[in-house]
Amino acid sequence: MRVMGRTRAAVLFSGTGSNLVAIAEAVAGGRLALELCLAATDRPAAAGLARAASFGIPTLAVAPADYADRAAHERALMAAIDASGAELVVLAGYMRIFGAGFVDHYAGRLLNLHPSLLPAYPGLHTHDRALAAGDRVHGTSIHFVTADLDGGPLVAQVEVAVQPHDTADSLAGRVRAAEHRLYPVVLDWFAAGRLRLEGATVFLDGLPLARPVRFQAPEAAS
Ligand code: GAR
């Protein structure tokens, strides 16, 4: 059902979809004024599909194996996103890298979540890398997507303190909890017209952001 006046958003994910659930719960709870018009994945077996459907969000799996090449897969995904009426595309654990055609098409309305304090640790295995480096502070970032992998203009970050006995799993769990709080907040900024990208500059409430908005996760109980 179309909700008048609300920004329509498509959420893309590849796995468990816990961030998708956090976003859907924020919408259901009245904390996020988006209309979720599509939940799409590249992995037909992704657990997030059933979780999205349980919120009544239209779901779709677009498997790369069904297409001749990456460009054809992306064209199919873009067609589905555009047919859903999405004005905003939210990457929430979507584990494929987009080509320039996709990124340009959604310029200024494509947001990504990445589990590190970018520019530290672009790419994979971010929690292992933070632990191996002996970092005391790790975290997560939300940024507008550009052709530069995990390098687009940053919007907001949450710092997560590394605990002495952390493993990659325990650290990932606290980073994920921080993501679940952060993404709905940032998406609501966008939905309210408070957040926009102009060129390579992020504007929040009409002012250019010299650096991402930084939050701190509550300390874990020891
Ligand atoms: C999240 O932690 C997100 O930061 C990460 O995937 C996880 C998805 O979890 N994204 C990336 O690594 C993108 N480079 P979820 O499926 O439970 O929401």
Q: How far apart are CA 69 and CA 84, in angstroms?
A: 23
Q: Is 152 touching ligand 1 by the criterion CB < 6 Å?
A: no
Amino acid, res. 146? T
- Domains of the chain (ranges; CATH) run 7-221 (3.40.50.170)
Indicate if the pLDDT at residue 218 is higher than 70: yes
175, 179, 181, 182: residue to mutate for ligand 1 pocket, most atoms within 8 A of CB: 179
How does pLDDT run across 46-60, given as a tens digit for each residue?
999 999 999 999 999
Q: How many CB atoms lie within 10 A of CB 193?
A: 9
In this prediction, residues 6-28 reach a mean pLDDT of: 97
Two structure tokens written together for 107: 């310029």
In this prediction, residues 27-38 reach a mean pLDDT of: 97
The single residue listed with the structure tokens 């090449």 is 69
Q: What confidence category does residue 3 fall into, taking pLDDT thresholds of 50, 70 and 90?
A: low
98, 113, 140: residue to mutate for ligand 1 pocket, most atoms within 8 A of CB: 113
How does pLDDT run across 80-108, given as a tens digit for each residue?
999 999 999 999 999 999 999 999 999 99
Task: Give kind and range of the element (H or E) at residue 77.
Answer: helix 70-83
Atom of ligand 1 nearest to the CA of 172: 2
pLDDT for 47 equals: 96
